[in-house]
Amino acid sequence: MRRLSIAEALREGIAEEMRRDPAVFCLGEDIAVPGGWGGAFTVTLGLETEFPDRMLNTPIAELGFFGAAVGAAVAGMRPIADVQYGDFLFLAMDQIVNNAAKLRYMSGGTIAVPLVMRAPIGATGRGSQHAQSMERYFTGVPGLKVVAVSNAYDAKGVLKSAVRDDNPVLMFEHKLLYGSKGARIEPGAVDATSDVPDGDYTVPLDRAAVRREGAHVTVLAWLLMAHFAAQAAEQLAAEGIDVEVIDVRSLSPIDYETIGASVRKTGRVVIVEEGPRVGGVSAEIAAGLMEHCGESLLAPVVRVASPDVPVPFTPILENAYRPDVPRIVEGVRRVLRP
């Protein structure tokens, strides 16, 4: 075991998969510039030295290089496509939604698209076009698996599972959780390091993770909000409120088996997401809970989310926009009120 950051764990996972399978390669913007940062957040730093022919820098043309990635996957390769900011996925929507996600179905299962797409998301002082939480736009796309990692152990294990999967997988990573160093250190970063085995392991793409067991309330969250939820749970424990924290982790499909078991135990649910409230992932989970275990709910589901406005640029407004520990605490208190 070693203590790694998410950026380090992803880098190690990518390198191990490229050594294991010569069909694996990476493409993206500035991911292999000698002397550069290794992409926007240091994940691919130095990999061009070991894999000079399999680390491909692309133009800032997401529709083009995502099309190349889809074509390579259909031809039998296993590409890992990297965008500098998740917001740029909008520019590749036709390839992601109409080709990557649909080709297996449209071919009657004869075509596989083993494609991993990595995207950094979250509000970090970069304004409305570089700070969005993108999950909502992809979790409803049939044929696409969507995952979100909140610690280094999961980052490596999920990445390796995604590379080996024969379906397209979209992997969201939060900018404040990377643990990048030097010129790419993020103000306000949260420690997402964890013990990571030295060697091969995988984490399932379709399972949630219970981060803290509790008896009174279930709090569901992912990415940065999973860390804020854990902090809120510790604060509430001092008041005698026992919170179970579940890192949803798999956003499509949603693991209602793990989540449902928790809800049947606690009877109360708070769902926390960084994205806007209307049409968010939390809305889908709330509806799914009613279908899977609605008879166990002792109170209406409470959602803690950002307001339905674009992400503001100034730090003061950004902090007011994004859910935080006090708002999660208040959400838990609200669901417990008689």
Helix runs in the chain, H state only = 6-20, 47-50, 62-74, 93, 103-106, 152-164, 224-237, 256-266, 281-293, 315-321, 325-336
Active site residue 48: no
Q: Choose, from 62, 135, 284, 318, the residue flagged as catalytic.
A: 62
pLDDT surpassing 80 at residue 182: no
Give the tens place of pLDDT for each residue, 183-227: 677 888 999 999 999 999 999 999 999 999 999 999 999 999 999
pLDDT tens-place string over residues 21-76: 999 999 999 999 998 999 999 999 999 999 999 999 999 999 999 999 999 999 99
Q: Is 62 a catalytic residue?
A: yes
The two structure tokens encoding residue 186: 């993020």
What is the model's pTM?
0.96
The residue annotated as part of the active site, out of 130, 227, 244, 274, is 130
Query: C-alpha distances in angstroms, 110 versus 33, 70, 167, 275?
Result: 37, 15, 12, 36
Would you state the pLDDT for residue 181?
Answer: 74
Retrieve residue 82's tokens: 């990297």
AA letter at 82: D
81-124: pLDDT as tens digits: 999 999 999 999 999 999 999 999 999 999 999 999 999 999 99
User: For residues 247 and 148, what is the distance between their CA atoms, to the nearest angstrom?
Assistant: 9
Task: Compute the Cα dihedral for 310, 314, 318, 320 and give only its sign.
Answer: negative
Domains and CATH numbers, the chain: 2-196 (3.40.50.970), 209-336 (3.40.50.920)
CA-CA-CA-CA torsion sign (226, 272, 208, 176): negative
